[in-house]
């Protein structure tokens, strides 16, 4: 099975179809571009399933220097593991 590490933006998009946090960091025009990039990246990886446990921290990297496997964002931060079905 193939695993992928997704950023928080991709996590919320995948799990909840929620893009509301983008407004904290981006302008309206940038939000539209960011949503389109997230969508393209996630469609390329589908079908995927969450492969992490928030209670134990298993499958979660609290801080990663690697880009997101979904949207390709180079921003450092938390990553969650997903597995292709």
State both tokens at 84.
Answer: 């292709």
Residue 55 burial (C-beta neighbours within 10 Å; 0-12, 13-18, 19+): exposed
pLDDT of 1 strictly over 90: no
State both tokens at 8.
Answer: 């928080």
pLDDT of 58 strictly over 90: yes
State both tokens at 64.
Answer: 């990663």
Instruction: Express as a percent the part of the chain with pLDDT over 90.
Output: 92
> Which residues lie closer than 8 Å to 48 by C-beta, 6 or more apart?
4, 14, 42, 82, 83, 84, 85
As a whole number, mean pLDDT of residues 42-67 equals 95
pLDDT of 57 strictly over 90: yes
Number of domains in the chain: 1
Question: pLDDT: is 43 or 1 the higher one?
Answer: 43
* Domain interval for residue 36: 3-84
pLDDT of 69 strictly over 90: yes
Determine if the pTM surpasses 0.75.
yes
């Amino acid at each position: 099975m193939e695993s992928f590490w997704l950023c928080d933006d991709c996590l919320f998009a995948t799990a909840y179809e929620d893009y509301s946090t983008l407004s904290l960091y981006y302008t309206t025009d940038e939000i539209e571009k960011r949503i389109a990039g997230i969508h393209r990246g996630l469609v390329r990886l589908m079908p995927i399933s969450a492969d992490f446990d928030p209670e134990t921290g298993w499958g979660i990297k609290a801080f990663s220097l690697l880009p997101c496997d979904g949207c390709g964002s180079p921003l450092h931060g938390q990553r969650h593991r997903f597995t292709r079905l």
